Chain A
Amino acid sequence: MGNPLPSSRPAEAFPAGLRVLIVDDDPTWLKILEKMLRKCSYQVTTCSLATDALHILRERKARFDIVISDVNMPDMDGFKLLEHVGLEMDLPVIMMSIDGETSRVMKGVQHGACDYLLKPVRMKELRNIWQHVYRKKMHELKEVEAHSFDEVINILRNGSEDIEDRYLIDETEMSSMRKRKDVENKEFGDQELNDPSTVKKARVVWSVDLHQKFVNAVDQIGFDKVGPKKILDSMNVPGLTRENVASHLQKYRLYLSRLQKQNGGTCGGNMPSDHMNKTIKGNFGLKSSTNMQQDWELTKYACTIENFQTLGIVANAAHVSEMNSRVAPAQVIASKKALVNDAQLGLFLSFKGMLPSIKEKACKPLHDERPVMQLMQYPEQENYSILEGYSCLANPDRDHEPSFDHLPSSQPLVMSATCTNGKDMKDLYEMKPLQPAIPPMACMIDSVSIQVKHGLVNLQDTGAICKLEGSPSIEDFYLDETNNQGCFPLTCEVSLKSKSDSDSMPEELHLYSVQKKLDCLENLSVSGTEIYQYIDSVPTSEVQSINWCEASELTGDYLYDQVDYSLIDEYLFA
């Protein structure tokens, strides 16, 4: 099972340490596959029942990068497991079977398998499974990037002087970002900022506003009767397609059911749990008649740490006594693609207790660019519109609905970090608090959880320091509640140590990963096995059949020892 505590050993290079969950009811195959995967330097967890596998996956502590499952299992159909994993955990799943019939394979693909291996499975096939992990992350990152850059930049620009200093986006980057963005996406977000009629592509960014409309529509229609078409009509957003709504609805449902599960089922419906992992800007305002819980997950953004400057996350929230509602404190936006070779840095911020907790999960490695991860600070009046529609999840203790239309002094904080991960991912990241020019609002934050994947994060919060290390593990870190008196915000410190690699990162990265591939290939070669090409005393017919090993798998030394053979002869042919 994944080790929840940070390990002290240095992180291994991807794909070593890839966390694989194997599910197979055949104990022989389970043992063999486990051995094979360990030989690939992957971290393996085995499971002989699909239900166990789901249980393991749902547990927070155990994290996995990829799941390999047999198709035929006694307790649950492999395809079903596949579906569940895809929806709930959004992990790549590889199917296996001895049956290679096209129809079966097709079924696997239909259900979302990213690969279908035939038994007997070979080492080289297993070595390559990291590609699926990598590919998936790249895809997710691309979606993450599909973001309202313009909006972000506007906000950044309008932010305080202090904050601007910290922005690592410079003009050239922005324009290149913009070029990419123009080509690929049009942002959808706030209607105020964009003219929706210019949208050509269907890539939708579910901004706070848009999501709010969505939720309103759902509420109006009635959660049980809801359907993408109805929602679409009700929302009345030009350019939005049924598909957009459908996929968002699916995620929403999963999100709700996950909350329901977490909080004992106050929500209606029973759907598999999920986390939102497509949109970054996931401050969902919920003015929903269904009882929402506090927990609230934002989605992944990618961040690699490069040039580390002081950044800070300051969570703000409405002063409970002043307004009977809470503010979603932080809006995290990654406006750049992350660059990562083998690391992903994830930040989860969750503010529990009185506040809605927000978790952002950083995501996936990508090749080219450096990401910006930002928490936005909105000056008091200016970007009010952005926060419109923000609402907080109700604290179950409270008896009134969360709602808010006014955020007079809400100030989510801006923190931006662009980071490029060093090759060996030993960089230490420290986040320092950002001192906003405008005093933050009173905030009641109980805890901050920082979760880091494949990287190091050093979080400092008035004494609580957590060091998370190592690529194989992802940790959940919950910092103590500092205080919830008055206006004192909880701060976390993240800063990055070295920036030396940043400039040449992309090439190095590329070379490095290639190098690693080569290393893997070398390891694949048959080492320590003597293959005797010629055996004197063995009759010719036997010699012919020696070539049953694939030539490609054999490298290295062929040892031929006469002495040994005579002994063998004795024993075999005596």
Chain B
Amino acid sequence: MFIYTTPVYRLSLALQGFLDEQFYQLEELQDESSPNFVEEVVTLFFRDSSRLMANIDQALEQCPPDFHRLDKFLHRLKGSASSIGAGKMKNECAGFREFCSEENLEGCLRSFQKVKKEHTILRQKLENYFQLLRQVVPVDKATRSGS
């Protein structure tokens, strides 16, 4: 039985707007041949995006800031965020890019803070989510064998 799937959990996350349909697509891709697919992808995302964001931090500290380079990073980050359906984070990235194109350093710094925040929140939520998944499955087995 698919107790732990998905719909309810996704719901809760989706509700809050953090994840969009892409996340659902990922769960669809998960199957017997790759039973931990979603978690693997998410792990990959956080690893990659953290690295990217460190680069962005560095780039923002540069004087004068290289907006072109920043834009490239952002484009990349946005693409990454779209891979797991991190909707909110994606939107914040878009905002950041706007400031970047205007060469508005102040705006860039502010919106990057937002991006980081979304990133952190999402990470936390997804960690909880996967933890919950791990917890529920054994219970499922227990109930079956029990009754």
Contacts and interface: CB of A to CB of B under 8 A. Distances in A.
B82 A119 contact: yes
A546 B21 CA distance: 11
B83 A72 contact: no
A379 to B, nearest CB: 60
B11 interface: yes
A544 B85 CA distance: 20
Interface stretch (A13-21, A505-513, A530-538): A530-538
A545 B14 contact: yes
B22 interface: yes
Contact of B24 (A29, A99, A548): A548
A112 to B, nearest CB: 23
Range of interface residues on chain B?
35 or more
B2 A530 contact: yes
Nearest to B2: A530
A545 B15 contact: yes
A36 interface: yes
Nearest to A73: B76
A72 B3 contact: no
A123 B27 CA distance: 13
A45 B26 CA distance: 20
A137 to B, nearest CB: 29
A561 interface: yes
B132 A29 contact: no
Given A27-B48, A28-B48, A32-B41, A531 B7 contact: yes
A170 interface: no
B78 interface: yes
A561 B7 contact: no
A252 B2 CA distance: 60
Given A28-B83, A31-B41, A120-B85, A546 B11 contact: yes
B79 A98 contact: yes
B3 A26 contact: no
A541 B20 CA distance: 17
B99 interface: no
A183 interface: no
A530 B5 CA distance: 8
Given A561-B1, A567-B143, A120 B11 contact: no
A142 interface: no
B75 A72 contact: yes
B12 A572 contact: yes
Interface stretch (B29-37, B56-64, B103-111, B112-120): B29-37
A432 to B, nearest CB: 44
Interface in B93-147: 132, 135-136, 139-140, 143
Contacts of B22: 120
A538 B3 contact: no
A29 B5 contact: no
B84 interface: yes
Most A CB contacts (10 A, CB to CB) among B83, B132, B135 go to: B83
Contacts of A229: none
A535 B45 CA distance: 31
Contacts of B45: 28
A554 to B, nearest CB: 10
Contacts of B54: none
B28 A29 contact: no
Nearest to B27: A529
Which has the most chain A C-beta neighbours within 10 Å: B6, B79, B143? B79
B91 interface: no
A287 B5 CA distance: 71
Interface string A107-124: 000000000000110110
Contacts of B140: 567
Given A26-B79, A98-B75, A568 B44 contact: no
A529 B6 CA distance: 9
Interface string B64-91: 0000000010011011101111000000
B24 A72 contact: no
A306 B72 CA distance: 54
B29 A26 contact: no
B105 to A, nearest CB: 23
Contact of B76 (A26, A538, A564, A567): A26
A532 B7 contact: yes
Nearest to A96: B79
Interface string A4-46: 0000000000000000000001111101100110010000000
Interface of B: 1-3, 5-9, 11-12, 14-15, 20-22, 24-29, 31, 34, 37, 40-41, 44-45, 48, 72, 75-76, 78-80, 82-85, 132, 135-136, 139-140, 143
Q: List the 10 closest pairs (A to B, CB-CB), nearest first.
A: A98-B79, A28-B83, A28-B45, A564-B3, A120-B22, A28-B44, A29-B83, A35-B29, A120-B82, A532-B7
25 contacts: A26-B48, A26-B80, A26-B83, A27-B44, A28-B45, A28-B84, A32-B83, A35-B37, A36-B29, A39-B29, A98-B75, A98-B79, A120-B82, A122-B25, A526-B28, A530-B5, A530-B7, A535-B7, A542-B11, A545-B11, A545-B15, A549-B21, A571-B135, A571-B136, A571-B139
